[in-house]
Each structure stands twice: as C-alpha cells, then as structure tokens.
Structure 1
C-alpha cells in the first residue's frame, strides 16, 4: 500500500514538473511581465525539441544582424507548404512588429504550447505559422518608458527597429532587411489568413479588444464581402459569447469618440494592406493600451483561438474565394488606386465608452481632454466604412520595365512576381507615362521624403526595348501588388517612395546666350512650334513677360531636351 502511494506521488510530481517545464516566461512572472527576445526564441526552441508537430526555422536576416524565425505547428508533421496548400489552410501570425506592444508574443507561446500538448483541440485543416518577434532590434532595445501612454508590462522593446524604421510602414518599400525577409516568408508560406498582433493608441473606452480588419473594398469582390460580413462577424461573435466585447479600431486621437469614427484604410505600406495585395484576409488586433497587461494577453490568445476555429470550419471557402478573387483583376477592368471616405454612408455602431469632457490643464491652463471612468456609457455613434474611388486605372495586359531599374525588379521578384526577359531587341506599342505633377513631403518619413498627389500624362507610342528588359504579365497572383507598386498615382507606389527619383532631375541644360540663336532658328523653321509659342504668350501674361521662361519653353519643346526627364520608366502594354 505504501509502495503504491509512493509511486502515485512520484507520478504526480513528474507530471507537475513536466507541466511547469512548459510554462512560458510570462506565466512564470507576476502577470505584468513579458518575455525577452532571448527567452522567446529559447522557449520555441524547447517546443521544437519536445514536439514533432512543431518546427522552428531561421528565415533571413534583420537589420539587427539576427535572423528572423518562423515556427510552424503542423499536426501532420509535413512542414511542406506545397503539400499543405493542396488540402489545408495556412494562418500566419506576426508578433513584435512594435515590441512595446508585446501581447501577441506571450499569447502565441501559450497558444503553441496548448496546441502541442492537446489542451486545445488539434486543428485538422489549419497549419499555424508564427514569426515570434519580427522587430528583433526593437525587442533588444528594452526599456520601461517609451510607451508613455501604456499600462504595462513592466519593461518592453522599442517601436523603431535597429535602424529606427517603423516596420509597419515598410512592407511595400522594403528599406529594411526585416521586410525583405518577411516577403520571402510570405511568399513561402502563402497564408490564407494573416494576423498581426498590436496594442492601440488613442482614445479611452471600455473595450480591452479592438481590431483593424483589412478593408473589404481593398480586398475586393466576394472575398471582401465575406471577410467583413461573415468571417469577422462570426469570430467577434464567438469572442462575445466568451464575455469579450469588441469594436473596430478607434481611429481618433486627442478627441472623444462620441462623434463617430471611420474604418482604417490599410494601404500596402501596412502589414494587412500588404497581405491584401495577395488576396490574403488579414486583421490587426489592437488591445487597449490602458487596460492591465494580463487581460490584454488573454483576449489576444482568445482571438487567435477563435480565428483558428473559424478557419477549421471554413477553410475550403476561404481558399476558393482567394482564388476566385483574381477574376476581379483582369486586363481591361478598372482598379482603384486611391479612395476617399464617403460620409453619406453611415453605419450606426453601439459603442461602450466613458463620459469625457474638457477642463483646464494644470500645465498650460488651456482646455484638456479627460475621461471619467466612473461614468461608463453605451451610445449609438456613427461609423463610416464606405469609401469612393478617387483615382482609377485600367488594368493592362502587362508592364514592361527596362533591366536598368534593377532596384524595382529585385523587389518585385522578392515578392513572387513572375517576369519574362525579352530575348531580342523589340519594338512594342505601349502606353507611356510622363510625370505631369507631384508634391514632395517637406519632412522626413520613414527614411524618405515621399511624393504624393502624383499626376501623369499618357501617350501611346512605339518604344524600342532591349534584350533582357522584363515583360510582366498582370495575370498572376500578385496582380494587385503590381498595380499598387507600378502605377505612380497609387499612394504607396514605387514612384511615390522615391524609387525613380533620378528621372526628376535634368542632366543637361543650356546656356542662354548660346541657345537664344538656336531658339530663334527653331521658331523660324517650325511653323507649328511658333504658333504654339505665340498662343502660350497670348494666354499667359506672366509667361509673355518672362524671357527666361520663354526660352525654357522652346528648349523643352525641341529635340535638344532630354527625353528621360520626367519620363516614367515603366510602360503599360494594353493589347
């Protein structure tokens, strides 16, 4: 009897030791502490060593010099994405893009442990992949003060990466090694669903959990409608059944939300916007910065579990809609590059907030905003979700880009874009853009002085392309990525991110005292040119009184003016 009791006691002790072995650093702490980068990688390495269903793989360098990792949970233990995509869906989780927002880092460690140990039901139709810490440089820059508006954890990483880039502005332009490695991961994994875990900034309210869902109009077609009205609605309803109320990301700062707010339009500089260019449905959990850390971690965990449950039941539909969505982006169809909020279309949103008001600041004496948490309210407020197209383009059959623009070509290829080099010098009829106007930011933004409000003029002409120049057919999975990057009027186009700035500068000029005689000869020899010149003077008084401007006008309309100035070097083949 004593021997049996001893064996039972030893068995319980071994089980307890094994369970404690898999406690995460967060669970071992006081509920207000997050794992360091080193602890996070060590924990996933332990899971990899302990469970055949988990594999951790290094995947490219970051600006910190440390490699990114992906951690795969695959119950079938194949870890081959070509095989996986034949009959299962892939969920990609991204954590620590802003390491001061570490909720997802801790929640995902527990998620993987619970999947591997069977605490959670093993998914049959879903493979889960996660990037444990995306911004490694920021995670290593640990402190307790840079998130001045945030309630915990005790210490955390910094928003900027090792080169001070905000990585959630870098997915399209890819200035960092992090984003280039992410592109490789994304193309390898080809996720059907993407979740990028964050913590909010902004207003105060009752919710612990808010979210940014990829804008349904950016996703497009039936896929966008399904994501908005079915998938997200069901997942959020599941959270509500568990006692968690959720609301869309409160996209306002330093003002009360009572007057309503708009759905965030996630252009492809952002993670979910980037994902949507490949027809991947994405969401960005934004737990509330002022809530305690432990409830934030829990609801992040719960959201990921609810998402996995939904994917399990609907993976075939998700995959089919992703494929079918390509039918909305064929040559000759219109594609919206720029959207404007439609304030005439309003959704009434039930909102759980706190009464707010203004009182004199102790610092300045001026009115300051405050929220009274002793006065919670439930109000119906306006929520704006619909946008109108502002700038549209007709999708071409192909783009042609000279091999000289290797910076753009390399990034296109990194993002899985297929292209075919010309075998011989070939003259092709194309649509050609000239940059007619643009504005440039006067302050630095993420390593650039980006352009905006870009306008182009379009002509159809025959252009001689050279052997090795690339023809890029638009009928491929990355068609939306092509349109967002190669159409210069798109907000996040390669042009607006300064990839082609060399064309904006003239390389040859003229000396006025020499060109005066040449200009006079040109006008005498070309009646059409002279008529246009005289018309310009008659219609533009300032021009008629400016001899320098007149000489420059003649120069720009002559054979002496360099063709490359303001000539956009990417061409459109429309037939």
Structure 2
C-alpha cells in the first residue's frame, strides 16, 4: 500500500512538473500572471521538455533581458531549418495581458501534445515585451476594461508606447526586438492586444496588416487565401472574427475603415520584411476568460494554417521581392479607396444619445439588451497617392552614425567606400514640412514633407556607405530614408539639424557685397527686380531683399535644407 501511495504521489508530482498550471488557470479565470510567475513558468517548461528552449535576446529599458521561448517538434532550436517560423509577441501593452496568459498555456500544450503539434513550423514566443510596463502592476489604468483583477501599464519605464517605436527605436526594447526579429526571420507574426472603443457583440476582432504594403504577390495571397481560411477555421470553433473596430465616440452602424498600421507599429514594421502579420484585438468589455480563450484559439488556428501551407508561404515571401527592384515605382503614401467597399453582417448593440448625468449634455450609450445584426460597409482597401522611384543604391555619409546603427540593427547590408570617389547623385532639398505642436512619443514629428530634387556630382570620402536596394530590407530603406514617407527618419526628427542655418551675415557689411553680387550677375539682378515688382511685401522689406540676395549667392551654406542621404538611380 505504501508503495502504491508513493507511486501515485510521484506520478502526480511528475505530471505537475510536466503540465504546470498557469496563474490564470489556478485562479478564477480573472487573474493574470505576474512577470516573475510568467518567467518562472517558462523556466519550468524548459527544464522539463526537450522540445522547448528559453533564450535571452538583448536588454530592455527595464534593465531585464528580453526572452524568447522556442517550441520545436524535432528539438532543433536553430532558425535556419527548412521550416516556417511563427513569432508571437505579448505584452507590448501590459494592461492588455490576454496574450501573455494564453501563450503560456499554448506553449505548454504544444510541449505535451495536448493540441496538434506542428511538424513544419517552429513557434517562437516573446513572453513579455514591455517588461517594466508589466512590473508597473495596478488595477485601474485600464478604466474601461472588464478584467483581469490586476495588470500592467501601457507605457514602459521611460513612458514610451512601444507600439509606436518600431522605426525610431528610442528604446532598448525596440533595438533588441530588431536584432531578435532578424535572427528569427519569421514568416508569420502575431502581436496580441485588447481593443478600446465601440461596444458590439464580438469577443474577437483582428487587424490583418494592410495587404497592399506587402506587395502584389504576397498581399494577394494574404488577403484572398490565408486570412479568409483562418477566419473560416475560427468560425468552425464558433468564434466570429471581424476587422478591428477602430471607432471612438461614435457607433459603428454606418461602417468603418481598416486600421492603417504604418511602420511605427509592430505589423507595419514586420510587413517591411515580407512577414505576414496579424494583431488580435479582443474586446475590452468581454469577460477575461473569454478573451484569453479566443486569443488562444486564434494562435492555434495560425499555427495550423502556417504548418499546412509552410512551403507556399516561404516561396511567396521570396518571390515577392521581385516587385521591389531598382527603377520600379514604390508607393510612399496611401489613402482608403472608397470605391472598393465590402459589406458584412455586423453584430452590434442598439445605441443612441441621452443626457449625461455628469454634464447634462448628450452622451453615447449602448443598450446590451437590444442586440442587432445589420449589414454595414467596410473599407478595407487602400490606394497609393504618392510614389518614388526605387534607386539603385543610397549613399550615406559616415557622419550619420545614428542612422547607420539603426540600419545595421535591421540587417541592412552596406559597403564602405574604399577610396575617395566622385559620384553623380540625386540630391533632395527639403522644400516644405509641417511640425506637430504637441509632443508625441518623445518627438515633435514632421508631416506633409515635400522635397525638391536635382542631380549633381559630389565627392564622398573613404568610409562613407553605399547601400544597395537589392536586398530583403529594400522596403525598410525606402520607408526610412525617403523623407516624404510617413514614418521616415526625417519625419521622426533625425535630421533636424539641417533645418537650421549655422552661418549668417552682418547686414551693414553684406549690403555692399550684395550690390556687387547683383552687378556681376545680370540674370540674378533681373530676377530680383521682377520679384520686387510682383511681391509688394517683399518690395517694402529691405531685410527680406538682402536675405534673398544672400540666399542666391555662393555664400549661402549648402547644408541648409540639404537632406544628407543621396540617391543613385
């Protein structure tokens, strides 16, 4: 009898080690793991399963390392196998912890074969991306959210929203992610979130990344094959999937547009490297246990689809690069194409407006006792509004070391010039731009930027860089180095020093020189006199006239407004 009891106890102990419960499962399904519990959980899985390996992948602003947990059915944890790779990111906004808890269960269930084990796909998970945000645990920062009882905070330790930092990389988190991303080179990427905004019946919504940004071949496959099949699989599980409802302060009854995930966002960034991306957005007002369940099921659906179609996904990713060759046109700006509309049977709640108990003014409300299904329009297609010709290569002076560091982080291949060289390049001069009046993620960013172009021969020095566009990161180069792109390095203030003149003149000295300049340049003098005739304000302002001559003289500094990234076409 003692032997039987000992055997039973040992069996229970081994089962508990190999099949540990998460804090979510141990509690009342309205509790989320702490950071320490989460990492400890994965350490146990790593110790007890030869199909799981936990690795550290660089530092974060918290001072703690970024981890990844890798599941590989064949126990090979390298990333250069002939298999597909799925990367799952969790806790970029730790107040939205659904993915953190769901992924803990997912990795354990893969290790124990409780769910279908992928034979052709390696699953890589970031347990928590915003570690310091998760350590900032509270119960109140998500005022509109229905559980869990405690969770993390949206901003990281330096109060950055990490889901706006994938291009500018102000944080250690972003820099470590970029190294991690290019080490893993995922075919498919998930970034788990919880929604804000309107009320409706669905527990699960999803941002499927803008297919047009992927490129024609990959985008068509993503929109017409992959995503529809995944939605069908979720429906078999009796889970409806609709596009992310990005509506605040209004009802979705009249329809809505697809969310625009530019490269500052996670999936906007991963798209630049031909990775197929999804942002699951569970609905904030639904019970936490239901949100975790649907997040779990979507990850299972993604694994199964990727595993069944891994060869096709990898081949199309490779073929897609053909669309981005030097000389081709590349779209820098997009807008919703209102001529292309689809209709869906949207499951919402009747809503309206009534006097506020606080202000007495009209306020929006939803009546959950009055659900409806109504056909509404969805605008999920974009059209390009501005193009640039893809150059053969860029030339970047070595003085721009901050940009060079970011390009290296993103696995961009560069060649240094071995001897001084005169190259005919296309030069941009910043023509117009606007600047935000309020701080946004540590920047007063620019927008509506336009440039003027001319071609000149310039001398470049030993150590300057040539950067070919014939590489996997071609879209990353275009989105960061083309100043008119929405999330360009210019628009994120990396080149603001060119917007300020460094030299000037003393008017009383330059007056005589200005006369000499006009006398020696009849054409310039004619242009000057014509401007005085047509511009009354200019004709009455002596200072403006003197500056005009200075600006059109050889004394005016070339660096002012000259964008220090050069193109070779």
Query: Structure 2-normalised TM-score?
Result: 0.98
- Tell me, yes or no, if structure 1 residue 283 matches structure 2 residue 278: yes
Root-mean-square deviation (Å): 1.1
Rounded to whole Å, the distance in 1 between the matches of 2:193 and 2:297 is: 14
Aligned residue for 1:496? 491
Secondary structure of the corresponding residue to residue 327 of structure 1? helix
Distance 1:557 1:300, change over 3 A: same
Rounded to whole Å, the distance in 1 between the matches of 2:4 and 2:247 is: 59
Aligned residue for 1:513? 508
**Equivalence map 1:42-441=2 (5 Å):** 42-82=40-80, 84=81, 87-441=82-436
Rounded to whole Å, the distance in 2 between the matches of 1:473 and 1:409 is: 14
Aligned residue for 2:568? 573
Secondary structure of the corresponding residue to residue 81 of structure 1? coil
Rounded to whole Å, the distance in 1 between the matches of 2:14 and 2:528 is: 87
Q: CA deviation at 1:535?
A: 2.1
Query: Structure 1-normalised TM-score?
Result: 0.97
Q: CA deviation at 1:11?
A: 5.0
Aligned residue for 1:467? 462
Structure 2 residue runs without a partner (length 5+): none
Structure 1 residue runs without a partner (length 5+): none
Secondary structure of the corresponding residue to residue 286 of structure 1? strand
> For each residue in 1:426-483, what CA deviation from the matched residue of structure 2 results, as whole angstroms up to 9, or x when unmatched?
0001110000011111100000001000010000111111110000000000000000
Secondary structure of the corresponding residue to residue 163 of structure 1? coil
Distance 1:380 1:10, change over 3 A: farther
Q: Is 215-224 or 395-404 further displaced after alignment?
A: 215-224
Q: CA deviation at 1:18?
A: 3.7
> For each residue in 1:277-309, what CA deviation from the matched residue of structure 2 results, as whole angstroms up to 9, or x when unmatched?
000000000000000000000000000000000
Q: CA deviation at 1:20?
A: 3.7
> For each residue in 1:510-537, what CA deviation from the matched residue of structure 2 results, as whole angstroms up to 9, or x when unmatched?
1111111111110000112112212222
Q: CA deviation at 1:8?
A: 6.3
Secondary structure of the corresponding residue to residue 352 of structure 1? strand
Rounded to whole Å, the distance in 2 between the matches of 1:222 and 1:282 is: 15
Aligned residue for 1:38? 36
Aligned residue for 2:25? 27
Q: CA deviation at 1:15?
A: 4.0
Aligned residue for 1:453? 448
> For each residue in 1:251-287, what CA deviation from the matched residue of structure 2 results, as whole angstroms up to 9, or x when unmatched?
1101000011001121000000000000000000000
Q: How many residues align?
A: 567
Secondary structure of the corresponding residue to residue 562 of structure 2? coil
Rounded to whole Å, the distance in 2 between the matches of 1:541 and 1:342 is: 43
Distance 1:12 1:247, change over 3 A: farther
- The runs of at least 4 aligned residues of structure 1 exceeding 3 Å deviation read 6-21
Rounded to whole Å, the distance in 2 between the matches of 1:537 and 1:382 is: 55
Rounded to whole Å, the distance in 1 between the matches of 2:149 and 2:15 is: 26
> For each residue in 1:143-189, what CA deviation from the matched residue of structure 2 results, as whole angstroms up to 9, or x when unmatched?
00000010000000000001000000000100000000000000100
Q: CA deviation at 1:74?
A: 0.9
**Equivalence map 1:530-545=2 (5 Å):** 530-545=525-540
